[in-house]
Amino acid sequence: MQRAHGANRAKVLRRRLDQTRAAETLADLRLVHPRTHALTGDRDGLISLDLDGAYRLLLEPIGPASAVLKDGGLDWARITAVRVVAVEDTHA
């Protein structure tokens, strides 16, 4: 991680991964890191966690179809697994 992202971002990335691993649901992760949010547009369906600057850890929720609400949003308390998609500058 340090080679790819530098020491500072690697440290924050490790913390976010540990927090993600420790959370039982996405709702728990939002309590630990309040700027956790769903993305829209070309990244619709992904979850973003701040790292540093404009860089974000992007996660894809894995869970039952019933975790998707009628309005298309997520029932954050029903998502118990995620897949790491990327670490990138989402504003570029």
- Specify the fold of 2-89: YaeB-like fold (3.30.2310)
Q: How is the chain split into domains, by residue range? A: 2-89
Q: What is this structure's pTM?
A: 0.89
> Sign of the C-alpha dihedral, residues 59, 38, 44, 92?
negative
CA angle 77, 72, 29 (to 5 degrees): 30
Non-local (6+) Cβ contacts of 26 within 8 A are 36, 47, 61, 74, 76, 77, 79, 82
pLDDT digits (tens, 9 = 90+) for 10-59: 999 999 999 999 999 999 999 988 889 999 888 988 999 999 989 999 99
For 5, the enclosing helix (H) or strand (E) is helix 2-22
Question: Rounded to an integer, what distance in angstroms lies between the CA atom of residue 80 and that of residue 67?
Answer: 10
